[in-house]
């Protein structure tokens, strides 16, 4: 969080985080696949108090046509915060922060989408933050990844994303708002996961300061967290698929 303030606020009390979590514990995650009728794929996701929706459209024809790429699909990603998603009303529309988040998130998504299969086409990913509580970009990437699968977009793998923060001189997984605001560093990660294994880092940002050793620990912590998220993403997709199959059986 660029608005971080140095303060005396104690974030670790008796070896526990303010919300009672262990240092390496994720916030509760809820994932629902296929929540929007008009999108080709969609996902509603909660990560702690973050509530986000992702909608995927495409592959479809790109307009205006001069934006088409003759050899591969064009991926667009729009991260947007609802005016009511934060405490003080957020002025609607894009700002520097959301433009930057959209860009780095698109690059992460581009790592997994098989763009080469859809020349001249566009794949649009819209993510809307309904409620923000730190790590909204990671929640959005997790939702976007699931929505892409729901849309049937061919992918090389999944994107699973989580941040690590440094607070009161310790590293904590998946920081919530207070830890992000008053902590010493915030490092959002996104991983490209293929065949149930982390293959590469698709997004990495940081503000604040950590030692190189702490960074290595943060990476390990984030990888474990991302694998947990990945399992939940897969389960959510499977759950929808199973239900749909049962519905089909009922209809026949």
Q: Is 136 in the site for ligand ADP (CB under 6 A)?
A: yes
Which residues, at least 6 apart from 233, have a Cβ–Cβ distance to it below 8 Å? 31, 142, 145, 146, 158, 160
Tokens of 73: 């699909």
* Burial tier of 131 (Cβ tally within 10 Å: 0-12, 13-18, 19+): middle
Closer residue to ligand ADP, CB minimum distance, 203 or 237 = 203
Tokens of 169: 């001189």
CB of 73 to ligand ADP, least distance (A): 26
Contact stretch for ligand ADP (CB under 6 A) within 40-48, 128-136, 150-158, 211-219: 128-136
Which of 29, 53, 113, 132 is close enough to bind ligand ADP by CB under 6 A?
A: 132
Which of 40, 128, 180, 214 is close enough to bind ligand ADP by CB under 6 A?
A: 180
CA distances from 11 to 138, 150, 174, 179 (A): 21, 38, 14, 7
Q: Is 133 in the site for ligand ADP (CB under 6 A)?
A: yes
Q: What angle do CA 54, 101, 51 make, to 5 degrees?
A: 40
Site residues for ligand ADP, 80-109, by CB under 6 A, read 86, 88, 90, 97
Closer residue to ligand ADP, CB minimum distance, 139 or 193 = 139
Residues lying near ligand ADP in the complex (CB under 6 A):
1, 86, 88, 90, 97, 132-137, 177, 180, 186
């Amino acid at each position: 969080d660029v608005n971080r303030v140095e303060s005396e606020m104690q974030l670790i009390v008796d070896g526990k985080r303010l919300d009672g979590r262990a240092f390496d514990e994720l916030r509760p995650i809820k994932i629902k696949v296929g929540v929007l009728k008009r999108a080709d794929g969609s996902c509603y996701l909660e990560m702690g108090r973050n509530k986000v929706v992702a909608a995927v459209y495409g592959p479809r024809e790109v307009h205006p046509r001069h934006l088409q790429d003759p050899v591969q699909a064009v991926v667009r990603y729009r991260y947007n915060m609802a005016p009511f998603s934060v405490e003080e009303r957020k002025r609607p529309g894009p700002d520097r922060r959301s433009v930057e988040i959209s860009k780095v998130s698109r690059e992460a998504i581009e790592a997994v989408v098989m763009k080469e299969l859809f020349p001249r086409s566009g794949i649009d990913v819209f993510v809307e933050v309904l409620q923000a509580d730190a790590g909204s970009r990671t929640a959005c990437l997790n939702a976007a990844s699931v929505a892409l699968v729901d849309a049937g977009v061919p992918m090389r793998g999944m994107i699973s994303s989580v941040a690590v923060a440094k607070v009161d001189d310790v590293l904590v997984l998946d920081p919530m708002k207070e830890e992000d605001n008053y902590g010493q560093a915030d490092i959002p990660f996104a991983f490209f996961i293929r065949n149930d294994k982390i293959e590469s880092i698709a997004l990495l940002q940081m503000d604040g300061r950590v030692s190189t050793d702490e960074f290595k620990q943060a990476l390990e912590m984030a990888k474990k967290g991302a694998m947990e998220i990945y399992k939940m993403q897969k389960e959510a997709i499977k759950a929808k698929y199973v239900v749909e199959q049962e519905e089909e059986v009922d209809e026949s």
